[in-house]
């Protein structure tokens, strides 16, 4: 699957910070049960890579990707672990769209967006969205960069996600609110599924509004 196809699978990509490898599979199952199949497992914990491996192998219906992929070596490592995509907070120096796994690089300015285009990317994470201009920035990018599509992440919540998703150049949003570190520590899988279901419903609400 291309990064564009992955971004269109669900309105929200949960950004996951998992401390204990044993939580990876139940967490993944809780999110898929709630209707969110696209999962970004960050490499911010020592367990990250092992979690990707376990989720990719054991969670049926999940499209498992890696987050916080900041180097070419990590892009290769997560691909080897079974990640179907990688997300980076910024552009990786010298890294092109073609590579071991589809990559969604972060950008925060027009200059970074243009550098991304030059490397073959057309899909970007706006990061940190709440600092990099949020909805106003995405609206402003529409006219000069009509081919770019975004996944704003950073400060996105159930409250502002519908407004982001209503923008024509937003494909999906990302965030930690569906499965926070605290919720994962508490193994609150029912709560995770409930928040996932609510977030998955944003797609339908958006479709209904556009009819
Ligand atoms: C990320 O890792 O992409 C962001 O830290 C997620 O931001 P949030 O915690 O505000 O959702």
Structure tokens at 39: 């999962």
State pTM to two decimals. 0.95
Give the Cα separation of 137 and 108 in Å (integer): 9
Between the CA of 107 and the centroid of ligand 1 the distance, in Å, is 14
Between the CA of 89 and the centroid of ligand 1 the distance, in Å, is 10
Q: Domain count of the chain?
A: 1
Can you give the CATH number for the domain in which 82 is found?
A: 3.20.20.70
Average pLDDT over all residues of the chain: 96
96 given a catalytic annotation? no
125 given a catalytic annotation? yes
Mean pLDDT value across residues 151-167: 97
Range of the domain at 167: 3-210
Give the Cα separation of 86 and 100 in Å (integer): 10
Q: pLDDT digit string (tens) for 162-182?
A: 999 999 999 999 999 999 999
Atom 11 in ligand 1: residue holding the nearest Cα: 175
> Whose structure tokens read 């010298």?
94
Q: pLDDT digit string (tens) for 35-69?
A: 999 999 999 999 999 999 999 999 999 999 999 99
């Amino acid at each position: 699957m291309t990064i564009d196809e992955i971004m269109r699978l669900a309105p929200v990509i949960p950004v996951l910070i998992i401390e204990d490898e044993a939580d990876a599979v139940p967490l993944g199952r809780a999110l898929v049960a709630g209707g969110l199949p696209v999962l970004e497992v960050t490499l911010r914990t020592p367990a990250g890579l092992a979690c990707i491996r376990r989720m990719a192998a054991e969670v049926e219906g999940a499209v498992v990707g890696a987050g916080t992929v900041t180097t070419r070596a990590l892009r290769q490592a997560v691909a080897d672990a079974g990640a179907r995509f990688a997300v980076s907070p910024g552009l990786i120096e010298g890294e092109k769209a073609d590579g071991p796994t589809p990559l969604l690089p972060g950008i925060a300015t027009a200059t970074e967006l243009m550098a991304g285009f030059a490397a073959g990317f057309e899909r970007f994470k706006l990061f940190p969205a709440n600092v990099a201009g949020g909805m106003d920035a995405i609206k402003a990018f529409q006219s000069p960069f009509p081919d770019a599509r975004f996944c704003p992440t950073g400060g996105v919540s159930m409250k502002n996600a519908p407004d982001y998703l209503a923008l024509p150049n937003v494909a999906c949003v990302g965030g930690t609110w569906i499965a926070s570190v605290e919720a994962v520590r508490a193994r609150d899988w029912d709560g995770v599924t409930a928040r996932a279901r609510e977030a998955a419903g944003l797609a339908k609400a958006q479709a209904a509004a556009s009819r």
